[in-house]
Amino acid sequence: MGRPPHPAMAMVLCCLLRVRFRMDYRGLASYLRARANRGLLRLVGLEKAPSKRALVEAFHRLPPSYMRMVNERLMELFKGGAWQPTQRASARGATRRG
């Protein structure tokens, strides 16, 4: 018996982050474990950062053609303006009204 697997789409996104940030597996695992990056973990759909070994295995399972296709679709979303980041309220709870 081993650990339950991480969600597949989350691991694909982690692999894309590795390529985009030009990090090695150890560096990405450390980056994802850092307390300051908990929001990034939630954004990709993970509760806990994957290990270096889990990242290596996920990366080697993915065909390069699939990685390119997912990356192209994500870039289309960002370039086309379909994805809009949410605005955060200030610490006091007041919202910014222009």
pTM of the model: 0.69
Residue 38 lies inside a defined structural domain of this protein: yes
Please determine, for residue 37, whether its predicted confidence score (pLDDT) is greater than 60: yes
**Predicted pLDDT of residue 75:** 84
Burial of 71 (0-12, 13-18, 19+ CB in 10 A): middle
Residue 48 lies inside a defined structural domain of this protein: yes
Residue 85 lies inside a defined structural domain of this protein: no
Domain that holds residue 19: 8-80
Residue 30 lies inside a defined structural domain of this protein: yes
**Predicted pLDDT of residue 70:** 87
Of 9, 7, 15, which Cα lies nearest the Cα of 52?
15
Residue 91 lies inside a defined structural domain of this protein: no
Residue 97 lies inside a defined structural domain of this protein: no
Please determine, for residue 62, whether its predicted confidence score (pLDDT) is greater than 50: yes
Residue 94 lies inside a defined structural domain of this protein: no
State how many domains the chain has: 1
Residue 21 lies inside a defined structural domain of this protein: yes
